Amino acid sequence: MSDLIISVSGVRGIIGDSLTPCVAMELGQAFGELLKQTALDDQTVTPVKVAIGRDSRISGPMIQAAFSAGLMSVGVHAVDMGITTTPSAALMGRFLKADAAVVITASHNPPEYNGIKFISHDGIAYSGDIIYQLRKMYESRSWTLESIDHIGSQTSDSRSHANHVQAILQLVDAKGISTQRYRVVLDSINGAGCAPSPMLLGKLGVELAHVNNQATGRFAHPPEPTRENLTDLCHQVTRHRAAVGFAQDPDADRLAVVDERGVYIGEEYTLALAALSRVMVKPGVIVCNLSTSRMVDDIAAKFHSTVIRTPVGEANVAAAMMEHQAVIGGEGNGGVIDPRIGLIRDSLIGMTLILELMNRTGKTLSQLVNAIPRYAMIKTKFSATRADADELVEKVKLEFADKKLDLQDGVRIDWPEGWVHVRPSNTEPIARVIAEAADEKTAQELIARVQRISGTR
């Protein structure tokens, strides 16, 4: 049996194995009890309420129903948002004045996975400390079931998509973008982005070719928006003579981009382009994680802005964004966080900022990309238990003790010619090794230095 992963990224597990309806119900009970205790500490007298949605995964209705049952059994009210994107759910939770929002999603993981993402009342993913408390409560089964007079109720609310789209439109020059009549190909992978994305792009005057646009949960290709998984999108961009191609993951918090030539430019450029779009207008602090490309540093330097780096995980990025009053932030995996909308990754604002950048500059996407210093990044991973991954991190720290190290999250080693980041995954039983340098050969050499220590190839 595989392990249930509970981390700062929420819960991930394999359906019928580590994640079952019984597990989901008990997690709902634990989370509901934790919220009730927090409300008591804050002397809140209104009933605790959780807004809960899901991506389109086939197992979603089952896990959502079980989690909601757990909430109600401990006296917490559930608001069913149906299929919704993670950023839409976060925004809707604030709109409903809920105590928390929950999304049943495994993000980019394969279809056999599902998960549970926890978002606080202010629309921010919970910190590691809160998730640790949740895990302890779940493992100790320390909750109290309510009697018939005090069990929670369930209602529904389907406004999350419209609410999200309207919030974005209030921030951008929608009329200016509309005048360009950009032709866009969007791949929503039959996920949660199928409904709000065409709604938004339609308001921006886009001529849209929408592929994999039915929220069936039957993913048309592996869900992580990587180069090898998006060959058809590249073909569709050239076929439609589009200005840009966008690809979402199943819960639509990540975005990958294809330029007008049908060239996959990747997830790393998503944040870089979004950051350029913002600091060109409002210089300030940019927050990103340790695994994010140096492109962001180059953009910041050009526009009198600064970069703050954090451990991987949007909760860590969001906390630093609040602390430093950042104008934009995110992660190099295609996650853009715009604090004007919310402190959570959002593919819809990512698409909008890129279109706004193209409109403002009058440049094609490839021209914008070519103006940003180019690096070669190699992302590798290998199966490893958490203990094995932690052991590798310790070996790397000892081997490169005389180098510049950042120990916020695993270990990142910086050399003049590039960097390597080694860390356990928060969402899968793997270790991730990421390297970046000016060219691919150098990046490969940096990866090889770590592989020699780990014994992997």
pLDDT band for 454, please (50, 70, 90 cuts). low
What are residue 83's phi and psi, to 5 degrees?
A: -70, 125
Instruction: Copy the structure tokens of residue 423.
Output: 């860390």
pLDDT at residue 181 in the model: 97
Assign domain 163-370 to its CATH superfamily: Alpha-D-Glucose-1,6-Bisphosphate, subunit A, domain 3 (3.40.120.10)
Q: How far is CA 149 from CA 50, 68, 156, in A?
A: 19, 18, 21
Pick the CATH number of 376-454 from 3.30.310.50, 3.30.70.100, 3.40.50.300, 3.30.930.10: 3.30.310.50
- Give CA–CA dist 14/256, Å, rounded: 25
pTM above 0.85, yes or no: yes
For the chain, domain boundaries: 5-158, 163-370, 376-454
The answer to whether the beta carbons of residues 82 and 53 sit under 8 Å apart is yes
Q: Give Cα 382 distance to the centre of its chain.
A: 21
Q: For residues 436 and 293, is the Cβ–Cβ distance under 8 A?
A: yes
**188 vs 218: CA distance, rounded Å:** 11
Q: Which CATH class is domain 5-158?
A: alpha beta
Question: Is the per-residue pLDDT at 456 higher than 60?
Answer: no
Mean pLDDT (whole number) for 393-399: 91
Specify the higher pLDDT residue, 333 or 137: 137
Between 401 and 450, name the one with better pLDDT: 401
Which value, to the nearest 10 degrees, does the dihedral of the CA atoms of residues 221, 227, 231, 237 take?
120
What amino acid positions are annotated as catalytic residues?
107
Which of 3-17, 54-68, 232-246 has the weakest average pLDDT?
A: 3-17
- What confidence tier does 198 reach under pLDDT thresholds 50, 70, 90? very high
In this prediction, residues 376-387 reach a mean pLDDT of 87
pLDDT category at 156 given cuts 50, 70, 90 is very high
Query: Looking at residues 402-407, what average pLDDT do you find?
Result: 92
Q: Do domains 5-158 and 163-370 have the same CATH topology?
A: yes
